[in-house]
Structure 1
Amino acid sequence: MLASCPYIKQTFSAFILIFYLAGCATPPKPTVSLNSAAHQLSLEQQDHWLIKGKLGFKSPEKKQSANFRWQQTQDQYQLNMTSIIGTSLLNMRGDDEGVTLVADDETYQDADASHLIWRVTGWQIPVEKLRFWIKGQHQNKDQVITSEQGWVSQLQPICDNCENWLINYDNYKLVDKVWLPHKVVLNNSLNNSQLLIRINTWDLHE
């Protein structure tokens, strides 16, 4: 088991969740009517992408924020997180076999990416499932609320170690003929934490 890293956690704690994550206005809903099954199939086919944006983590004990860059290539991913002023906070690379994380000039490895990022930073991030959830893609057993436009507006995952997550989606935009969310809010009922993701750019050609 990895030892806890108080210095790194204190570094993250210095970056307080501020107004730019909260958002001041709700954009108008697009006028579109999708076939939900066809839309899910198009999401499933997107396994090469790059997103950039902002993360906000909130728990009863703390509020933190960071800029992020996530690149996905099939089952391989790279996650980079930086402070508001551009200082590197962590670099994570992984796949289905394991993950390596570098933070504060220290290197950590684990088979469980979500556990590793929690041990190092204190953030609750469902890394393994997020590559699907970030797109609004659900699995057959999941409980889903579909919007009038045809995309997922709320997702209650049904899988091992993920039943405690509830995910809400907003601000869908058309990216290369695929409608993708640009605001994703993940609430964890187990520890009363919230992960807010605001995506500035989607690139489906990476």
Structure 2
Amino acid sequence: MTATAWRAAAVLLVAGALGGCGSLATRQAPPEDVAFTPEPAVETARQAMLALSPQWSFQGRVAVSKGRNGGSGRIDWQQQGDAYQVSLAAPVTRQSWQLSGGAGQAVRLDGLQGGPRSGGDAGQLLLQATGWEIPVEQLAAWVRGMPATGAQAARRGFDAEGRPRVLQQDDWRIDYLDWYPPEGERPPLPRRIDAVNGDAKVRLIVDEWTLGQP
């Protein structure tokens, strides 16, 4: 199979797999203007608590699009230090794909027609395989409301309770639209996130967070 044909098949497979779950709502209000301010003390404390849990996971629903290509489905993200394993699945069609990498290991993408693919950059691997632009390496930090390390300096704005409201980094704007309140030793964590970079969009609703061992 040629590279062009393989990429076309990959796009159809992933879009079809995710499309079987039904899509998240696509209409939304324009991003509101948020003042970029220094990090408040309550956010510094929240990040310090998160640093105590290098092993974490979440399950939820995600919608991704890049131009006319897009779809939605279930997401399961498992993180252990720098290593991650991300699964996307469409229960109706029973199709899925998995992305794993980090901690010095090569990135591996499974579930595509033609067999697994490997590379050194998760975002580039997904873009080449599916035509979608998803900042996987940065999302591990962004999904928890934190700026990504090893990237451009971030600009941030905070809500009335001192939680992140908007984060701009590496040409992406991430809006934190809803939060889970603190529970026990768990600090506040995002419930709903919208990330946009031009015509690339990632919308995430987290149904469950787990910090530490499940």
Matched, 1:135 2:147: no
Query: In structure 1, what is the equivalent of residue 94 of structure 2?
Result: 87
Query: In structure 2, what is the equivalent of residue 40 of structure 1?
Result: 47
Structure 2 spans left out of the alignment, 5+ residues: 28-39
| Structure 1 SS opposite 2:188 | strand
Query: In structure 2, what is the equivalent of residue 99 of structure 1?
Result: 107
**Contact 1:17–1:57 (Cα < 8 Å) also in 2:** no
Find the partner of 1:110 among 119, 140, 146: 119
Instruction: Give the Cα separation in 2 of the matches to 1:108 and 1:117.
Output: 10
Structure 1 spans left out of the alignment, 5+ residues: 25-32
Query: In structure 2, what is the equivalent of residue 30 of structure 1?
Result: none
**Contact 1:5–1:119 (Cα < 8 Å) also in 2:** yes
Give the AA of the match of 2:188. Answer: W
Q: Per-residue deviation at 1:39?
A: 1.6
The alpha-carbon distance between structure 1 residues 83 and 193, as it changes in their structure 2 partners (threshold 3 A), is same
| Structure 1 SS opposite 2:24 | helix
Instruction: Give the Cα separation in 1 of the matches to 2:24 and 2:146.
Output: 23
For these two proteins, the number of residue pairs brought into alignment is 190
Query: In structure 2, what is the equivalent of residue 156 of structure 1?
Result: 168
Instruction: Give the Cα separation in 2 of the matches to 1:199 and 1:184.
Output: 8
Query: In structure 1, what is the equivalent of residue 131 of structure 2?
Result: 122
**Contact 2:82–2:103 (Cα < 8 Å) also in 1:** yes
Find the partner of 2:202 among 183, 195, 199: 195
Query: In structure 1, what is the equivalent of residue 11 of structure 2?
Result: 9
Q: Per-residue deviation at 1:18?
A: 7.8
Find the partner of 2:194 among 165, 185, 190: 185
Which of 83-92 and 130-139 deviates more?
83-92
Cα RMSD (Å): 2.6
What do residues 164-187 of structure 1 show as CA deviations (whole Å, max 9, x unaligned)?
Answer: 101001221134431000111110
Instruction: Give the Cα separation in 1 of the matches to 2:122 and 2:21.
Output: 27
Find the partner of 1:77 among 75, 80, 84: 84
Query: In structure 1, what is the equivalent of residue 173 of structure 2?
Result: 166
Give the AA of the match of 1:152. Answer: P
Q: Per-residue deviation at 1:20?
A: 6.0
Instruction: Give the Cα separation in 1 of the matches to 2:22 and 2:107.
Output: 32
Which of 173-182 and 110-119 deviates more?
173-182
Query: In structure 1, what is the equivalent of residue 58 of structure 2?
Result: 51
Query: In structure 1, what is the equivalent of residue 37 of structure 2?
Result: none
Q: Per-residue deviation at 1:125?
A: 1.0
